[in-house]
Chain A
């Protein structure tokens, strides 16, 4: 039954998901094309004299601004869509169909979370590639402006990077490798976590008598706020302990960052797990469609 649920849940997201991917692709393309504007090159080259501002340059600027707006809004908008889709399927009139299907409540919830998380992961991946493309694009502009070859740049960059990794390890006691692993885990888990927090909050909202959707949103904002607070507190404590220990350096900052990041991840994970368990309990015992 889970497969069937997943199939239909994914189907309900496919439309919007694909649209987002297309929008992202187009925006990235547009931004990349905007790099062709001579303005950028002129910015990074020595011969900035005689540069006249034209239409192409306007498009260039718009392209970049557009890109940033779209991309920063994109994952948030998608999460909202996922929440809306979830709410509609589970707690609107459609719920009369959803909850009378011959499946357990935990399967229902699991399918919703998985389908949302899978798509969120895909979109996050797409965003990452998009960022990469932009970064490559920027570097390209800088290099051509400075008249450097890609091969030369890459060689210098690799050297800097391995130096950095080495120093981090020896001086700061920070393993970049393991940090990358933590980032990787986070990249895999964050779709699940963000989706569970969204769906769990909406489910908590169902405990009220009225204005359930609003309450669900309130719960969501509260939990987000809580998470933000926790991460600030952790960060603060870490920085404070760093200061008081007297060992302050760039490397220590890195260690501090890794620390904060990992602990925040663990906290988010715990909250997500708790929300998941609570949600399924609510679905089993407290469900009352209007």
Chain B
């Protein structure tokens, strides 16, 4: 079984001195929901950006389903960054058309269905939406794709509990054994119950990669509790 993501000796250095990501080796399988956890500055977002292709590694390589990061991988990766990338003057309808144009795996029906569920009017202009609504729209755009890898960078931070619920349910419902979801978050408690595996990062290093059940069985703790233990010093 080939791995979905392979990170080999991956490093990223800023300004020739700051090692944001330090020699990370990791193989992630298909069909899993994986949490990328770690304190701020641990390199989570840097790794995500490199897999998504908005940042170049300083050393090492990345393979997504056997392809290096490029046009092929971008076509099969759905990335939700931790910021708003939608511009003001467009309507949601226009943005959906844009996505459908560039991504073959984008499902327009799914997108409109989810918008309806959340009671968001697609004819509205982006700039009229509240921050929370914009984030929901961005999530819908990502989840309407039938990608091999979904990367969600802090999808539930700063989101109300109902929306949080919706997001996690959507992730669960979207599950398919050929794809994986990589969720980067510091709100471990809220997502723990949907994760199969977790990655712990610290100071750019890979500290731990294991199944959630391993932690719970072995240590009798929640991942959140174990995480606090590991990182408290």
Q: Do A and B bind each other?
A: yes
Question: A residues near B, CB below 8 A?
Answer: 1, 4, 7-8, 88, 93-97, 99-104, 209, 284-289
- Which of B27-35, B72-80, B200-208 touches A? B72-80
B102 touches A93 (CB 8 A): no
B85 touches A287 (CB 8 A): no
CB within 8 A of B53: which of A97, A100, A285?
Answer: A100
Contacts of A96 on B, CB cut-off 8 Å? Answer: 54, 79, 81, 83, 85
Q: Does B101 contact A (CB under 8 A)?
A: yes
Q: Does B52 contact A (CB under 8 A)?
A: yes
Nearest-neighbour CB distance to chain B for A219, whole angstroms, equals 20
B85 touches A8 (CB 8 A): no
CB within 8 A of B52: which of A88, A93, A100, A104?
Answer: A100
Interface of A: prevailing SS: loop
Known pairs A103-B71, A288-B54 / 17 extra A-B pairs, C-beta < 8 Å: A4-B101, A94-B85, A94-B86, A94-B87, A95-B85, A96-B83, A97-B85, A97-B86, A100-B53, A100-B79, A102-B75, A103-B74, A104-B70, A104-B71, A284-B56, A287-B54, A288-B55
Contacts of A88 on B, CB cut-off 8 Å? Answer: 87
Of the A-B pairs whose beta carbons lie under 8 Å apart in the complex, a sample of 19, sorted by A's number, is A4-B101, A7-B101, A8-B98, A93-B83, A94-B86, A94-B87, A96-B83, A99-B53, A100-B52, A100-B74, A101-B102, A102-B71, A102-B74, A103-B71, A209-B15, A284-B56, A286-B56, A288-B56, A289-B49
Chain B 86-112 interface 0/1 with A at a Cβ cutoff of 8 Å (1 = within): 110000000000100111000000000
> What is the size, in residues, of chain B's interface with A at 8 Å between Cβ atoms?
24
Q: Does B84 contact A (CB under 8 A)?
A: yes
Give Cα A106 to B98, complex, Å. Answer: 20
The 3 closest A-B pairs by CB, nearest first: A102-B75, A96-B85, A102-B74
Given known A4-B102, A96-B83, A97-B85, contact A287–B74 (CB-CB < 8 A): no
- In the complex, the chain A residue whose C-beta lies closest to that of B79 is A100
Question: B residues near A, CB below 8 A?
Answer: 15, 49, 52-56, 70-72, 74-75, 77, 79, 81, 83-87, 98, 101-103
Nearest-neighbour CB distance to chain B for A92, whole angstroms, equals 9
Contacts of A97 on B, CB cut-off 8 Å? Answer: 85-86
Contacts of A101 on B, CB cut-off 8 Å? Answer: 74, 102
- In the complex, the chain B residue whose C-beta lies closest to that of A286 is B56
Nearest-neighbour CB distance to chain A for B144, whole angstroms, equals 14
Give Cα A102 to B70, complex, Å. Answer: 7
- In the complex, the chain A residue whose C-beta lies closest to that of B70 is A104
Nearest-neighbour CB distance to chain B for A36, whole angstroms, equals 40
Given known A94-B87, A100-B77, contact A287–B71 (CB-CB < 8 A): no
Nearest-neighbour CB distance to chain B for A94, whole angstroms, equals 5
Residue in A1, A96, A285 with the greatest tally of chain B CB atoms within 10 Å: A96
Give Cα A96 to B87, complex, Å. Answer: 11
Contacts of B71 on A, CB cut-off 8 Å? Answer: 102-104
Contacts of B103 on A, CB cut-off 8 Å? Answer: 102
Contacts of B75 on A, CB cut-off 8 Å? Answer: 102
Give Cα A284 to B15, complex, Å. Answer: 18
Nearest-neighbour CB distance to chain B for A85, whole angstroms, equals 10
Nearest-neighbour CB distance to chain B for A257, whole angstroms, equals 45
CB within 8 A of A285: which of B56, B79, B101?
Answer: B56
Give Cα A103 to B102, complex, Å. Answer: 9
Contacts of B87 on A, CB cut-off 8 Å? Answer: 88, 94
Nearest-neighbour CB distance to chain B for A279, whole angstroms, equals 15
Give Cα A97 to B101, complex, Å. Answer: 13
- In the complex, the chain B residue whose C-beta lies closest to that of A89 is B87
Give Cα A94 to B86, complex, Å. Answer: 6
Nearest-neighbour CB distance to chain A for B110, whole angstroms, equals 19
CB within 8 A of B54: which of A95, A284, A285?
Answer: A95
Give Cα A243 to B70, complex, Å. Answer: 58
